[in-house]
């Protein structure tokens, strides 16, 4: 049975890894907070009057641009998730090989 001192020793000697726990935190930061702040920042940068936007983007293309933007966002979220799943699988394989 592990004691608190043994757990601290294992952590400091790299016998216990914090990567699996930290990966969950970084995943949710990247999946939720980064898009939120990016959207907020992009809104601040691209403050155009509505008439200017309508001149640049005709109404018939607004749906296509919105659909493309949502599709790209979902694709990037899926790729972000796949990257973290790969990292977790790698850590699980490493753990099963070292035991």
Residue 61 has pLDDT above 80, yes or no: yes
Q: Predicted confidence band at 1 (pLDDT cuts at 50, 70, 90)?
A: low
* pTM listed for this prediction: 0.73
Longest CA–CA separation in the chain, Å:
70
Q: How confident is the model at residue 67 (pLDDT cuts 50, 70, 90)?
A: very high
Share of the chain above pLDDT 90, in %: 34
Average per-residue pLDDT for the chain: 86
Check if the beta carbon of residue 39 is closer than 8 Å to that of residue 76. no
Provide the pLDDT for residue 78.
Answer: 96
* H/E segment holding residue 31: none
Domain map (residue ranges) of the chain: 18-98
- Residue 20 near residue 88, CB atoms below 8 Å: yes
- Enter the DSSP assignment of 16: S
């Amino acid at each position: 049975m592990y004691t608190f001192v043994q757990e601290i020793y294992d952590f400091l000697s790299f016998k216990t890894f914090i990567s699996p726990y930290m990966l969950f935190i970084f995943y949710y930061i990247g999946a939720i907070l980064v898009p939120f702040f990016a959207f907020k920042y992009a809104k601040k940068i691209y403050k155009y009057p509505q008439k200017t936007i309508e001149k640049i983007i005709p109404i018939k293309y607004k749906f296509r641009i919105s659909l493309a933007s949502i599709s790209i966002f979902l694709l990037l979220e899926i790729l972000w998730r796949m990257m973290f799943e790969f990292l977790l699988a790698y850590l699980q394989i490493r753990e099963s090989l070292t035991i």
